[in-house]
Amino acid sequence: MRMILVLCATFVFAGASVSADVTDAEIAAVIKGSDDLSMHSAVFLKASKNLVVKGWCSLQDLRIVGGWVRRRTSGRKQHRIYITYCGGSAENNRLYLDVTLGRVFR
């Protein structure tokens, strides 16, 4: 269990490969409600597609949340963080996306 959490926390999407199991259009349709979509659409699309392809999220998970929600923080302005939930709305199902680094973490 600890090993899985470590892998989840350190997975970087920049070099990850994706399969063609889900199309960009399908992903774009379920994340269209994301905050700041016009600014970060490419990062949101890539991260979301990787989450679905890797089995961490389903299209339904992303559809329920509507995509990525901007995290309201004071201080870390150089790192814009967005949140989504996969597998339910409990805190342990929360995933964070740093759009500056293109990295998803728990």
Residues 31-60: pLDDT tens digits? 999 999 999 999 999 999 999 999 999 999
Mean pLDDT for the chain overall: 82
Residue 58 phi, psi (nearest 5): -110, 165
User: Does the pLDDT at position 90 exceed 70?
Assistant: yes
Sort residue 55 into left (φ over 0), alpha (ψ -120 to 50) or beta.
Answer: left
75-86 pLDDT, tens digit each = 656 678 999 999
Q: Which residue bears the tokens 């805190």?
A: 91
Most distant CA pair in the chain: distance in Å? 39
15-37 pLDDT, tens digit each = 334 445 899 999 999 999 999 99
Quote the pLDDT of residue 13: 39
